[in-house]
């Protein structure tokens, strides 16, 4: 062994598995339940009438699961468990800021400003987020909840105590 607890790999696989499952769930909502998925996923769209009936309940699910997944993936890449939680917290801040910028007053001004300074190819890629995006307080709450779950999982599946004992 390299001085680390034997469960390091197990914890890594658990976090990766949860992150992959969360991404799959978020993408599934866009592909199967939303009437119109984001442009990036339009080719994958296969609408399920059964799930579309539940779209009102599933609308904020992508915010929760994307924040959870990316928070875990960022945490996995950090050098220490405490830095993993810090980076995950910063990710939650980015997600909250992005959601807040979809508020109509901010989005319109941001779209005008960014549309005038960014190259066309860049604006074509990110512009729809502010041009067609809708601020939803439930998305904001879902994103915070997803980030909180990511931090809890990073804490639960942390090897920090084992690392301190081995050092």
- Does residue 1 fall inside a structural domain? no
Domain that holds residue 140: 8-166
User: Which tens digit of pLDDT belongs to each residue from 82-139?
Assistant: 999 999 999 999 999 999 999 999 999 999 999 999 999 999 888 988 988 889 999 9
- Average pLDDT over every residue of 53-77: 86
Count up the domains in the chain and report the number: 1
- Does residue 3 fall inside a structural domain? no
DSSP-assigned states of every residue in 88-128: HHHHHHHHHHHHHTTSHHHHHHHHHHHHHHS-HHHHHHHHH
Calculate the average pLDDT of the chain: 83
Task: Please compute Rg for the chain using Cα positions.
Answer: 19
- Does residue 112 fall inside a structural domain? yes
**Could you give the count of Cα atoms lying within 13 Å of 4 in the half-sphere of its Cβ?**
11
């Amino acid at each position: 062994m390299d001085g680390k607890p034997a469960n390091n790999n197990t914890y890594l696989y658990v976090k990766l598995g949860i992150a992959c499952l969360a991404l799959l769930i978020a993408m599934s909502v866009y592909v199967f339940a939303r009437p119109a998925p984001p442009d990036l996923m339009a080719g994958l769209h296969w609408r399920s009438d059964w799930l579309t009936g539940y779209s009102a309940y599933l609308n904020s699910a992508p915010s929760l699961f994307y924040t959870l997944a990316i928070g875990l993936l960022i945490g996995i890449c950090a050098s220490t468990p405490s830095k993993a939680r810090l980076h995950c917290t910063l990710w939650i801040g980015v997600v909250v800021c992005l959601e807040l910028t979809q508020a109509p007053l901010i989005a319109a001004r941001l779209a005008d400003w960014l549309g005038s300074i960014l190259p066309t190819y860049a604006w074509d890629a990110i512009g729809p987020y502010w041009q067609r995006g809708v601020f939803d307080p439930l998305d904001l709450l879902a994103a915070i909840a997803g980030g909180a779950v990511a931090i809890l999982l990073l804490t639960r599946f942390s090897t920090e105590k084992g690392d301190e004992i081995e050092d």
